[in-house]
A = this chain, B = another copy of it.
Amino acid sequence: MYSERPLDDRKLAVLRAIVQDYVGTEEPVGSKALVERHNLGVSPATVRNDMAALEEDGYIHQPHTSAGRIPTDKGYRLFVDRLAEVKPMTAPERRAIRHFLDGAVDLDDTVARTVRLLAQLTRQVAVVQYPSLSRSTVRHVELVALAPAKVMLVLITNTGRVEQRMVDCPGTVGETVLADLRAKLNTQAVGRPLPEVPGLLEDLPAAFEPADRPTVSTVLATLFETLAEQNEERIMLAGTANLTRFGHDFPLTIQPVLEALEEQVVLLRLLGETADAGMTVRIGHENAYEGLNSTSVVSVGYGSGDQSVAKLGVIGPTRMDYPGTMGAVRAVARYVGQILAES
Contacts and interface: CB of A to CB of B under 8 A. Distances in A.
Interface of A: 106, 139-140, 142, 144, 146, 152, 154, 156, 162, 164-165, 238-241, 243-244, 250-251, 254-255, 258-259, 261-262
A258 B238 contact: no
A251 B254 CA distance: 10
Contact of A243 (B142, B162, B258): B258
20 contacts: A106-B165, A140-B152, A142-B142, A142-B144, A142-B154, A146-B156, A154-B164, A162-B162, A162-B164, A238-B262, A239-B262, A240-B258, A240-B261, A241-B255, A241-B258, A241-B261, A244-B251, A244-B254, A244-B255, A254-B254
Nearest to A261: B240
A62 to B, nearest CB: 27
A47 B244 CA distance: 41
Given A142-B154, A244-B258, 6 more contacts: A140-B144, A140-B152, A142-B142, A144-B154, A244-B254, A254-B254
Given A241-B259, A244-B254, A152 B146 contact: no
Quickly give the copy total for this chain: 2
Contacts of A139: 146
A262 B244 contact: no
A262 B250 contact: no
A106 to B, nearest CB: 8
A258 B243 CA distance: 9
A148 B250 CA distance: 58
A199 B140 CA distance: 32
Contacts of A262: 238-241
